[in-house]
Amino acid sequence: MTLTSELLDRALTLPTDPPLRPLPLEVALLLRELAAPPRLAAHLRAVHDVAVELVDWVRARHPGLAFDREAVLFGAATHDVGKVLHPEELAGPGSAHEAAGRELLLRRGVGADRARFAATHAGGEEPGATVEDLLVAVADKVWKDKRVAGLEDRLVRALAEGAGREPWEEFLALDELLARLGADAGHRLAFQAAFPV
């Protein structure tokens, strides 16, 4: 086992404090097959962990809202997979990984309904963005305590419409959740930074 594969394994399985959930098995296997950079695996694990919190909150607060929980979790766990092909975007800006990630997943047999998150995670601004798209995009921001008002407003509107509630009610509840999730960002950032690009 090489040092890189050892570090990748640690990024995927290392116990953390506070705990980060492991990635879905199919994603962990995919990252191993792709020899993904360890930092990418750590990042995907952090975003996936936040996505679990988000979808569980939505499910508890909006039991009648139809959304695909597993698709959100898969999307969060693979949203940056294109950085395997564009590792320079792990340490700097860039969006080439978005389309590349979608294509990579499609070539590996992932359905378009799930592969899309690799291309849509940047902000959920695409026409017809679904609750699932918005949840993945929010998870990809709030994991590091970044708040994007326009993105959060779109999610608030979608949740309010889906639940038949006033937007201000959804805003207050979502804001409280995102503030709580953002409070743990330092731990997630430190976990990611512990792994090389």
Q: What is the pLDDT of residues 16-25, one digit of tens each?
A: 888 999 999 9
Q: Is the pLDDT reported for residue 123 higher than 80?
A: no
- What integer pLDDT is reported at residue 3 of this predicted model? 64
- What integer pLDDT is reported at residue 58 of this predicted model? 96
CA distance 14 to 28: 13
- Prediction pTM value: 0.95
CA distance 147 to 182: 9
Predicted confidence band at 94 (pLDDT cuts at 50, 70, 90)? Answer: confident
CA distance 93 to 70: 28
User: How much of the chain, in percent, has pLDDT values that exceed 70?
Assistant: 96
Q: Is the pLDDT reported for residue 126 higher than 80?
A: no
Predicted confidence band at 124 (pLDDT cuts at 50, 70, 90)? Answer: low
For the chain, counts of helices (H) and of strands (E): 11, 0
Burial (CB count <10 Å: 0-12, 13-18, 19+), residue 27? buried
- What integer pLDDT is reported at residue 95 of this predicted model? 85
Predicted confidence band at 116 (pLDDT cuts at 50, 70, 90)? Answer: very high
Q: Is the pLDDT reported for residue 54 higher than 80?
A: yes
How confident is the prediction for the chain on average, in pLDDT? 93
- What integer pLDDT is reported at residue 1 of this predicted model? 55
Q: Is the pLDDT reported for residue 73 higher than 90?
A: yes
Beta-carbon contacts of 132 under 8 Å, excluding residues fewer than 6 positions away, are 67, 68, 71, 72, 75, 117
Beta-carbon contacts of 7 under 8 Å, excluding residues fewer than 6 positions away, are 38, 195, 196
CA distance 197 to 190: 14
CA distance 128 to 148: 19
CA distance 152 to 139: 11
Q: Is the pLDDT reported for residue 57 higher than 70?
A: yes
